[in-house]
């Protein structure tokens, strides 16, 4: 009978400082010589991490009530539109939101400015009601004047992501960076063997309630992410070879750091936000030991042509090949470049490892596992569009 | 022998002077024009690689300055806010000169300004807008 560990047992070891915590990269190196049976004996928790642009991110804000109060029905923060359909003074600012006249400054920049303690101009309009008589307010807010500031990202930490190339003869600008014509470069995003959802591809330990590193503080997985897709093509190890599952995450933005939350503007695409996420994976059994042992040569991803409608797949490559500096697609050698920061992801994995080792961070058993066998609907165009 | 890149800004009345000829002939400097922009009657800018003996290059630059050419080493004209860099790698995707590369061990960005050919593709490619190049 091979070893099985419980969450309680691992947490006891973490508290007493006896637990062995490795990063996913360290355990992948260890696995070149150690068997899964040995790894489950020796290693208790493996830290995974990613730091990439995650467009489906944003923050819930409660501004507090002014006197006289206003029911905010149109809201701008430094000119960036925020959602106005949440009671009187609650709002949600999406990372990608922006004023079309000022497309390089968006919701992500407002979030970063708030994090860095800067003053933000709040402007809001209401129709005026008996209980909220005010019709207009213009004032400044900052991280200390507002009540809650909660990061809530509906879709983060994609389980694998595609490699982007451009077969056309024109340069194109995408969220995967600038793609040169004639497949003269290829960009990739995932942190490979260090990436959270590639180390637990079947979600045996990651689920609703999982405690994670989010933006420099403790956060939680609160739901499967939007576009949660578990039935995409997989390799022989059961790892998806294209973008598949995602997670929704939440945490107290007031405790986060601009080292791990970074606004970005992608040329001719728009605003996005780099988010730092780290997930501890408890090595509960041999199965999990096998999962966390995976290395870059065993993880494939799909090369897609971002220049052609429908993004046809041109091939498959491993993360080992992507990191080598060039890949071969259809016999052509293409230079590769990352668009997510492995250096930052490593820093996160290391920091999370230290939190765990110091006994200040527990691994948590999900209160609810994620659904299985999910797929996606595409948006159908009905006759309503012809009205 | 050393190799050094300079950005040269020419005054409007310098169009008829064969300065590069003098650099080669009088100072024994091997020149390589990497980028040029000429606005007749207004100004011109040149990215020039000078290869030769250190003292000859110094004399050649001195000659250019005497001709009212603003002559500055390339790295002085490239501004990169390294402290804000997140090492995402977006700029390396477009840098064909090989000036911007990822260190394959640390995966941090490395910037060898002397390899820059001022194509300026990194300026829009950087999602944090950390590059500024003063060519004109």
What DSSP letter does each residue of A113-177 carry, written as one string? HHHTT--EEEEEE----SSS-B-EEEEEE-TTTSS-EEEEEEEES-SS--EEE--SSS-EEETTE
The whole-number pLDDT of residue B42 equals 81
- Taking an 8 Å cut-off on Cβ atoms, the answer to whether B104 and A177 are in contact is no
Q: pLDDT grade, residue A384 (50/70/90)? A: confident
Pairing of strands A261-266, A270-282: antiparallel
The whole-number pLDDT of residue A137 equals 98
The whole-number pLDDT of residue A355 equals 98
pLDDT digits (tens, 9 = 90+) for B100-131: 999 999 999 999 998 999 999 999 999 999 99
The whole-number pLDDT of residue A42 equals 97
Mean pLDDT over all residues of chain A?
97
Share of chain A above pLDDT 90, in %: 97
User: Residue A143, exposed/middle/buried by CB under 10 A (0-12, 13-18, 19+)?
Assistant: middle
The whole-number pLDDT of residue A387 equals 57
The whole-number pLDDT of residue B39 equals 84
The whole-number pLDDT of residue B20 equals 87
Q: Give the minimum alpha-carbon distance from B99 to chain A in angstroms, rounded to a whole number.
A: 14
pLDDT reading at B135 higher than 90: no
| Nearest residue in A to B88, CA atom | A341
In chain B, residues with a C-beta closer than 8 Å to the C-beta of A187 are 89-90, 93
Q: Find, among B10, B13, B29, B9, the residue nearest to B21 by Cα.
A: B29
**ipTM value of the model?**
0.94
* Active-site residue (options: A55, A82, A98, A131): A131
Domain locations along chain A: 7-54+155-357, 64-146
How many pairs of residues across A and B have Cβ atoms under 8 Å apart? 72
CB-nearest to A338 from B102, B125, B128 is B102
Q: pLDDT grade, residue B15 (50/70/90)? A: low
pLDDT digits (tens, 9 = 90+) for A38-65: 999 999 999 999 999 999 999 999 999 9
Q: Which two tokens stand for residue A259?
A: 């080292």
pLDDT digits (tens, 9 = 90+) for B38-86: 888 788 899 999 999 999 999 999 999 999 999 999 999 999 999 999 9
Q: Give the minimum alpha-carbon distance from A221 to chain B in angstroms, rounded to a whole number.
A: 24
Q: What is the DSSP letter of A95?
A: T
Q: Give the minimum alpha-carbon distance from A306 to chain B in angstroms, rounded to a whole number.
A: 15
Q: Find, among A167, A190, A168, the residue nearest to A322 by Cα.
A: A190
- Give the C-alpha separation, A326 to A331, whole Å: 12
The whole-number pLDDT of residue A385 equals 65
- Taking an 8 Å cut-off on Cβ atoms, the answer to whether B125 and A341 are in contact is no
pLDDT digits (tens, 9 = 90+) for A201-238: 999 999 999 999 999 999 999 999 999 999 999 999 99
Residues A343-353: what's their mean pLDDT?
98
Share of chain A above pLDDT 70, in %: 99
Give alpha helix (H) positions in chain A. 7-16, 24-30, 36-42, 107-115, 286-292, 319-324, 342-357
Q: Does A82 participate in catalysis according to the annotation?
A: no
CB-nearest to B124 from A52, A264, A267 is A267
Cβ atoms B51, B28 nearer than 8 A: no
pLDDT digits (tens, 9 = 90+) for A116-127: 999 999 999 999
Global pTM value: 0.95
pLDDT digits (tens, 9 = 90+) for A244-264: 999 999 999 999 999 999 999
pLDDT digits (tens, 9 = 90+) for B73-104: 999 999 999 999 999 999 999 999 999 999 99
Chain A within 8 Å of B85 (Cβ-Cβ)? Answer: no
Task: Enumerate residues 197 to 236 of chain A having a beta carbon within 8 A of any beta carbon in chain B.
Answer: none
- Taking an 8 Å cut-off on Cβ atoms, the answer to whether A341 and B124 are in contact is no
The full set of domains in chain B, from first to last, is 2-76 (3.30.70.260), 78-133 (3.30.70.20)
Q: Give the minimum alpha-carbon distance from A311 to chain B in angstroms, rounded to a whole number.
A: 20
């Amino acid at each position: 009978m091979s070893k099985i560990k419980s969450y309680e047992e691992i947490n006891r070891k973490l508290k007493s400082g006896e637990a062995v915590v490795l990063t996913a990269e360290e355990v992948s190196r260890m696995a070149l010589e150690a068997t899964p049976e040995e790894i489950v004996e020796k290693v208790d928790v493996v830290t995974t991490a990613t730091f990439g642009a995650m467009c489906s991110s944003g923050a819930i804000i409660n501004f507090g009530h002014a006197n006289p109060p206003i029911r905010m029905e149109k809201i701008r923060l430094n000119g960036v539109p925020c959602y106005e359909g949440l009671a009187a003074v609650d709002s949600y600012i999406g990372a990608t939101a922006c004023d079309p006249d000022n497309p390089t400054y968006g919701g992500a920049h407002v979030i970063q400015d708030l994090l860095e303690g800067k003053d933000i101009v709040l402007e809001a309009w209401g129709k005026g009601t008996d209980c909220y008589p005010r019709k207009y307010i213009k004032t400044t807010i900052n991280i200390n004047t507002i009540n809650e500031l909660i990061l809530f990202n509906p879709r983060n930490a994609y389980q694998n992501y595609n490699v982007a190339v451009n077969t056309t003869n024109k340069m194109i600008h995408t969220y995967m960076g600038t793609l040169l014509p004639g497949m003269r470069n290829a960009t990739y995003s995932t942190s490979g063997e260090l990436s959270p959802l590639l180390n637990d591809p079947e979600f045996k330990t990651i689920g609703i309630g999982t405690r994670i590193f989010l933006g420099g503080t403790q956060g939680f997985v609160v739901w499967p992410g939007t576009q949660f897709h578990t039935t995409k093509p997989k390799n022989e190890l059961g790892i998806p070879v294209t973008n598949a599952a995602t997670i929704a995450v939440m945490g107290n933005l007031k405790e986060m750091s601009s080292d791990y939350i970074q606004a970005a503007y992608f040329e001719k695409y728009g605003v996005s936000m780099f988010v730092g996420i780290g997930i501890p994976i408890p090595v509960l059994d041999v199965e999990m030991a096998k999962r966390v042992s995976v290395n870059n040569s065993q993880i494939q991803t799909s090369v897609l042509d971002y220049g052609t409608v429908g993004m046809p797949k041109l091939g498959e490559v491993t993360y080992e090949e992507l990191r080598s500096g060039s890949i071969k697609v259809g016999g052509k050698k293409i230079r590769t470049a990352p668009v997510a920061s492995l250096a930052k992801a490593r820093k996160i994995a290391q920091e999370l490892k230290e939190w765990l080792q110091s006994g200040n961070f527990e691994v948590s058993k999900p209160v609810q596992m994620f659904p299985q066998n999910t797929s996606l609907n595409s948006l159908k165009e009905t006759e309503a569009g012809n009205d | 022998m050393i190799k050094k890149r300079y950005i040269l800004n020419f005054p409007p009345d310098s169009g008829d002077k064969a300065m590069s000829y003098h650099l080669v002939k009088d100072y024994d400097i091997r020149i390589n024009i990497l980028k040029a922009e000429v606005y007749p009657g207004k100004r011109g800018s040149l990215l020039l690689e000078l290869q030769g003996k250190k003292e000859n290059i110094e004399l050649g630059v001195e000659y250019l300055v005497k001709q009212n050419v603003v002559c500055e080493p390339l790295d002085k004209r490239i501004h990169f806010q390294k402290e804000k860099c997140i090492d995402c790698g977006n700029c390396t995707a477009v840098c064909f000169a090989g000036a911007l590369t990822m260190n394959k061990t640390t995966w941090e960005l490395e910037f060898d300004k002397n390899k820059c050919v001022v194509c300026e593709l990194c300026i829009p490619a950087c999602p944090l807008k950390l590059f500024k190049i003063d060519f004109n």
